Structure 1
Amino acid sequence: MTRPPTTLAVLLATALAATGVLAGTASASASPAAPVVTRAAIDPALVAGRGAELGVVQQEAENATHTGTVIGPDRTAYTLAAEASGRSAVRLTAGQYVEFTLPAAANAITVRYSIPDAPTGGGITAPLGVKVGSGPTRTMTLTSQYSWLYNQYPFTNDPNAQLLHPDWWITECGCVPSPDYQVQTPFRPMHFYDEQRMLLGRSYPAGTVIRLTMPAGSSAAWTIIDLLDSQAVGAPHVRLKAANALLFGADPTGRRDSAPAIEKAIRWAKKLHLPVYVPPGVYRVDRHIVVDDVTIEGAGSWYTIFRGSEVALAEPAPDGSVHTGVGFSGRDAADGGSTDVHLSGFAIQGDVRERIDTDQVNGIGGALSDSTVDDLYIQHTKVGIWLDGPMSNVTISDTVIVDQIADGVNFHRGVTDSTVRNSSIRNTGDDALAMWAEDDQNARNSFVGNTVQTPTLANGIALYGGTDLTVQGNLVADPVREGSGIHLGARFGAEPFAGTIRVQDNTTVRAGTYELNWNIGLGAIWLMALDRSIDADVQVSGDHFLDSTYNAIMVVSDWPVKDLYEIRGVHFADIRVDGTGTSVLSARAAGSADFRNVDARNVGAVGINNCGSFHFTPAGSEFAVTDLGGNDGGGTTGPWMAAWELPNTITCDDRPPVVVPPAPSPWVQP
């Protein structure tokens, strides 16, 4: 006699069906075109050993078979090409397609794309046909509801808005506009891209063709395909000895609010010293769930999904929030914070469409000490993970954070002994990875082995003050404007840099962006003294700066404080610079740095652009450069570190012309 399934088995089957895990099979077809695999739109051999390893294979649309039109390459801010991975993508109109050939077996894909905004803002939806092998064409629903910001900070969703700050100086007219000045709208469009994931229902072998087609009759005038990520996702994780959220009333279909059920499961789990297990499904949660001394496990970030709407509060919260939304939060540090929290194996998909800095509508928040975050996928929140200290010993690993209105991860105020490792952050609206020691010192934190792509504003990795910090083995590509690849900033009210700051064995690609307010290009790595001097032991070693739009390295102090603060005692060693639009080093501050074994090629301007603090004294520049030997190579003007430039010769060309370098290539040692 066949036994009837248990209640738990029925619930699990229902949940699996809700996520498409039990979908049918389809036959595969081979493609004659060899797939081109890249990492951050560059040959993987050039970035080997750097960045996250998450089993994802990335292919750029411009390298695939297509019937569309390639846009770019272009690094000009406010353009669709500039925000694309590799600064290029494929534009489709009705009936056109892009075909990708799987380079390895896969059962899941992610499509990064852009479609137009609605004429008055707010976004639209449009279909995309997805045909895998010889199987039927499925429909992926694309949206621009989380894209298309405009205007000045903190931006607006209205493409027809005039200046948000008419009293601010703007580059477009080189002025503070007169009262009757009108900008051309849409003014400064940005944040164009979004992405969608799809489980394919079975594993397809290498050689299978995936065709993405913009259907006839689409509501979108065009569809831009930027890239395809493919991967082999494992079976759903199951935890039997746990407080199963389904047994407490959680709804895996997403129709009912599951927050009360999750909280009941948490309370029960804590009493019995068990983890909470949330099986596959889509769970509606429209507020933050407070966590402390608890483990919450999903079936995997592709299977267990927490999804919620942004909800307006009846009155502002004590922290200034005027909305709430889906997420998990530790207790506030002022209330003692939370400890021993372990979150893993689920996705958080929010509904944040505008930037309100007082809103704490983040994926993960609060203070979490002695805690871990692992295998999460966080999308459409304000900040993926914003942690407010004092707190210590949190590890974030193997996590994907995409399509954020602001930061990816921020260690804010008194965070110590914590790390982000082996994670991928893409399409943030502010710093992708940041440590901000505002009013309370951060210490002994690290960002290790992460991949950052296309932050649309600010930096890939930013340190604002802190003691004994490490940035190691990361890959940062395609920052767009008003920031760059890696940044050390004495600014935003941060505590001073102290101890040893290690920036080691990282690679930046197509970094060195345009600073809108200063009207100059930044370095792929840049140090800025705004609130105070930088005089810690800063060790920059083993880094590769590839295809930098302007400078590879910049030290700068803002003009009003250039005679107050310095950047001194910075040490550069064992570095490769392959391609700069302008110089290897741009010095726009007082201070000093030394260089050892810094090899450069394809340098577009004078190797050292040394303006110091712009006094042009008879004694030379206020910034001294020390040659410790082994600094070889150069470009159009000869050796990048010429004897006549040392130790502090003035070689100031404030805005040298940009010479586009050739693409990076393997580095052959002489």
Structure 2
Amino acid sequence: MQQCGKSMKDIDNTLCVASQRLYGQLTSLEKELSMNMARYSAVLVGLSLLAGVPSTAYATEKAQVKVTRAAIDPALVAGRGASVAFQEQEAENAATNGTVIGPDRTAYTLPAEASGRTAVKLAPGQWVEFTLPKAANAITVRYSIPDAATGGGITAPLAVKVRNTTRTMTLTSQYSWLYNQYPFSDDPDAGLLHPDWWITECACVPASTTPVPVLKTPFRPSHFYDEQRLLLGSTYRAGEKVRLTASAGAAWTVLDLLDSELVGPPSLLVRSANVLFFGADPTGRRDSAPAFDRAIAFARKAKLPVYVPPGVFQVNRHIVVDDVTIRGAGNWYTIIKGHEVALSTPAPDKSTHTGVGFYGKYVADGGSRNVHLAGFAIEGDVRERIDIDQVNGIGGALTDSTVDGLYIHHTKVGLWLDGPMSNVKVTNNVITDQIADGLNFHTGVTNSVARNNFLRNTGDDGLAMWAEGTTNAGNTFDHNTVQTPVLANGIAIYGGTDNTVSDNLVADPIREGSALHAGSRFGAEPFAGHLWFTGNTTVRAGTYELNWNIGLGAIWLYALEKNIDADIQVVGDNFLDNTYNAVMMVADWPVKDLYSITDTHFKDIKIDGTGTSVLSARVAGSATFENVDARNVGAVGVNNCGSFDFTPAGSEFHVTDLGGNDGGWLGAWMLPNTITCADRPPVVAPPAPATW
């Protein structure tokens, strides 16, 4: 630490001396605490081993313990997606006296938004009982309870019993239950937000025709689920039971899954600017934002990291970060939580609200660099989608920066990064229950990576690169898991140059999107160079596009505003249990004769189950296929409509067979541009995926 004295120009000497004295006191205290924590952890494990718990062998023999990833056998997704500390168990695979709902992939239904499209519904007093597959001292419960009659949500207790100890988890629907058209409403009785929009359900525009009864309120309910975390206070062995019992506080409770985890002790950072020195309140009763600002200013001058110890810290606005490291004790222990606050006048960035978040300076203000955030949770309070609001967990511009090991919950977007910026690394984070995207590399983000992140229940794209105005280049989304995005896509790339999507796992997109997407839309810069989708696995994707009333693909390429003519390589991917198609290539109807998709290549792909086709081509252009194996295909292998001009020369879309395409889906009889167009072919539900 820098020495105090009269020569110090920028640091208040009195504060410096006091801080040094506190450092000395805390150093010995923290060392002692560290040793005690280690002893305490060992004692807990020892006690759990001696507490008469059934042995692991007994549990394996007697209990039906089924651990899944994305609600399927982990062997089918080995090596793909995020490596996480928790074990996922689906409620429908556990013991219960409730009612299994689903499977169902129909939008606006509770099963459709559940992991695996199936869940368990409980009346008051009913339960689901999970058997722990590994030792655990913490759980996450994904659930749904009803909305209030007029919107705004309710709360209800859930009893959590392990051995003879019962704890209470407070469930809430205050952050779920959206209605109506984009950008949605939390009022179940609201009239149409856009009366002039086409309504697919009745094929009408209500403003110019007589509305039909299907448009009664609540209209298009969605975003049903939320999740809560709970430290159990003890370590429990594999084979022990966790029983979750619904209360009378809600008319019904739907349980989707349980994640169980063995969380280590809090981490300590002795040589640091501890926010407690600067007045932060770890009880959460007082606003700690000014204390965070003081700690950051001091840390920058003293060239120290900021440490946020265990506790709940109330922060109700952005904490602006530049050239600083902020570390917590771990995202189960250090919780930075805030209220959403309405602003009397809009902020310079046009926001009408503010809330908890860590923001780099915007590029117009010089941007930020060398920011490192790690080891804490951000708990927001965002309950409605207002697109102009900057109420995201992480925001601004963060060149040469890292975001690692955070838990981001109930913000609008987990990370919305506005460039230009370069060399950002987003790793090992859990991002859940967002109103909009999970992460968006927006505008001129280059040479950056998002790796080993877990995202669930985003209200828009899980992971996105959006090259709006300035291109994104040289970025990678690698080994991430994205589950149940309620709207739009699991992973979406909107324009850009030389970007890669590799070894991700994407499951259960709900509507108006797919697992993997490349779109010339939203004012994005053209695709250039290459775009690689390599080694990804998608599960139960290829969903329903509400506006078109057609099924999409597990991967879909969309030419709306420009041609897509970059080198697109889709290599080594597995598309499992596709609701409609495995691959969709499409141009919007008004521009179908203007834009095409060319230079697209599919190789070394396995497709297990399609409700309709392997390829649905609704655009002019071309694609090559090599070693693409498909089975359990519900309709014609290639649904080739081209530009729907049906010329005597055949389709405007050309398919090139490079050999090795097994399963008979391509068809030796098929010329490269044979018209095989069925606008909306019947859907044949595929069987569950299995080992190839």
| TM-score relative to the length of structure 1 | 0.95
The corresponding residue for 1:628 is: 658
The structural deviation recorded for 1:106 is 1.0
Unpaired segments of 5 or more residues in structure 2? 1-23
Letter in 2 for 1:311: V
Structure 2: how far apart are the matches of 1:189 and 1:448? 33
1:451 to 2:476 alignment: no
1:236 to 2:261 alignment: no
Letter in 1 for 2:243: R
Letter in 1 for 2:690: S
The corresponding residue for 2:8 is: none
The structural deviation recorded for 1:181 is 2.7
Match of 2:298 among 258, 265, 268: 268
The structural deviation recorded for 1:369 is 0.2
Structure 1: how far apart are the matches of 2:413 and 2:370? 22
Q: Verify the 8 A CA contact 2:533 2:571 in the aligned structure 1.
A: yes
Structure 2: how far apart are the matches of 1:484 and 1:9? 54
Match of 2:434 among 404, 417, 427: 404
Q: 1:490 to 1:627 in 2, by over 3 A?
A: same
Alignment deviations for residues 510-553 of structure 1 (CA, whole Å, 9 cap, x no partner): 00111011000000000000000000000000000000000000
* Percent of matched pairs sharing the same residue: 71
1:574 to 2:604 alignment: yes
Structure 1: how far apart are the matches of 2:566 and 2:499? 11
Match of 2:680 among 655, 661, 670: 655
Structure 1: how far apart are the matches of 2:29 and 2:461? 44
The structural deviation recorded for 1:200 is 1.3
The structural deviation recorded for 1:102 is 0.5
Q: 1:12 to 1:486 in 2, by over 3 A?
A: farther
Q: What SS class does the counterpart of residue 86 from structure 1 fall into?
A: helix
The corresponding residue for 1:472 is: 502
1:528 to 2:562 alignment: no
Structure 1: how far apart are the matches of 2:226 and 2:251? 17
Structure 2: how far apart are the matches of 1:509 and 1:178? 39
The corresponding residue for 2:7 is: none
Mapping of residues 277-296 of structure 1, within 5 Å? 277-296=307-326
Structure 2: how far apart are the matches of 1:28 and 1:115? 36
Structure 2: how far apart are the matches of 1:54 and 1:45? 15
The corresponding residue for 1:208 is: 240
Instruction: Single out whichever of 195-204 and 63-72 deviates more from structure 2.
Output: 195-204
Q: Which runs of 4+ in 1 moved over 6 A?
A: 7-15, 21-26
Alignment deviations for residues 13-36 of structure 1 (CA, whole Å, 9 cap, x no partner): 999x9xxx9999885744632210
Letter in 2 for 1:641: L
Match of 2:203 among 156, 161, 174: 174
Letter in 1 for 2:335: I
Structure 2: how far apart are the matches of 1:136 and 1:292? 46
Structure 2: how far apart are the matches of 1:147 and 1:355? 11
The corresponding residue for 2:140 is: 110
Q: What SS class does the counterpart of residue 469 from structure 1 fall into?
A: strand
Q: Verify the 8 A CA contact 1:126 1:143 in the aligned structure 2.
A: yes
Structure 2: how far apart are the matches of 1:564 and 1:438? 21
Structure 1: how far apart are the matches of 2:244 and 2:81? 28
The corresponding residue for 2:220 is: 188
Structure 2: how far apart are the matches of 1:299 and 1:7? 15
Alignment deviations for residues 585-604 of structure 1 (CA, whole Å, 9 cap, x no partner): 00000000000000000000
1:74 to 2:104 alignment: yes
Match of 1:145 among 174, 187, 191: 174
Q: Verify the 8 A CA contact 2:30 2:270 in the aligned structure 1.
A: no
Structure 2: how far apart are the matches of 1:248 and 1:316? 30
Q: Verify the 8 A CA contact 1:29 1:209 in the aligned structure 2.
A: no
Structure 2: how far apart are the matches of 1:254 and 1:408? 26
Structure 2: how far apart are the matches of 1:58 and 1:226? 11
Structure 2: how far apart are the matches of 1:67 and 1:33? 16
Mapping of residues 457-536 of structure 1, within 5 Å? 457-536=487-566
Structure 1: how far apart are the matches of 2:201 and 2:493? 30
Match of 1:387 among 417, 440, 463: 417
The structural deviation recorded for 1:12 is 11
Structure 1: how far apart are the matches of 2:29 and 2:224? 41
Structure 2: how far apart are the matches of 1:564 and 1:481? 27
Unpaired segments of 5 or more residues in structure 1? 634-638
Q: What SS class does the counterpart of residue 659 from structure 2 fall into?
A: coil
Q: What SS class does the counterpart of residue 645 from structure 1 fall into?
A: coil
Mapping of residues 538-577 of structure 1, within 5 Å? 538-577=568-607
Alignment deviations for residues 185-221 of structure 1 (CA, whole Å, 9 cap, x no partner): 1100000000000111222111110000013xx2200
The structural deviation recorded for 1:645 is 2.0
Structure 2: how far apart are the matches of 1:611 and 1:12? 70
Letter in 2 for 1:209: K
Alignment deviations for residues 440-490 of structure 1 (CA, whole Å, 9 cap, x no partner): 000000000000000000000000001000000000000000001000000
Q: 1:509 to 1:85 in 2, by over 3 A?
A: same
Structure 2: how far apart are the matches of 1:548 and 1:224? 25
Q: Verify the 8 A CA contact 2:26 2:270 in the aligned structure 1.
A: no
Alignment deviations for residues 544-580 of structure 1 (CA, whole Å, 9 cap, x no partner): 0000000000100000000000000100000000000
The corresponding residue for 2:153 is: 123
Q: Verify the 8 A CA contact 1:11 1:246 in the aligned structure 2.
A: no
1:97 to 2:127 alignment: yes
Alignment deviations for residues 359-390 of structure 1 (CA, whole Å, 9 cap, x no partner): 00000000000000000000000000000000
